[in-house]
Amino acid sequence: MAAHLAIASPRVRTDVVEVSEFPELAQRYNVYAVPKTVVNDAYEIVGALPERQFVEAVLRGAEGQETEGEGSDIAGETTPVEPDG
């Protein structure tokens, strides 16, 4: 769905990565489930969402807002990306 946003807006750029071919990226972004969307290298959205909810989650991430909820396993929750130390 991120690719559709990139087609619709020149302000959106998307990259799709096959984590089995780029394990260092999977490790950097702590990818344990797909789909996983990372917004501005700062927020992540884990899980598939209906289009409207996905767009809302991307916008929240772009604005630096976290979604309310408990735990990062909630689909569509935007959570800060933790750098690898």
For 45-55, the pLDDT digits (tens) are 888 999 999 98
Instruction: Write the pLDDT tens digit of every residue in 10-41.
Output: 888 888 889 899 999 999 999 988 899 988 88
Q: Give the number of C-alpha atoms closer than 13 A to the C-alpha of residue 66, restricted to the C-beta side.
A: 10
Mean pLDDT over residues 60-82, rounded? 59
Distance CA 1, CA 7 (A): 10
Q: Quickly tell me which residue has 């899980």 as its tokens.
A: 47
Q: How many CA atoms lie within 13 A of 50 on its CB side?
A: 2
Q: Is the pLDDT of residue 69 over 50?
A: no
User: How many angstroms separate the most distant Cα atoms in the chain?
Assistant: 36
**Cis before residue 35, ω within 30 degrees of 0?**
yes
Mean of the pLDDT values across residues 57-66? Answer: 81
Whether the model clears a pTM of 0.75, i.e. scores above it, the answer is no
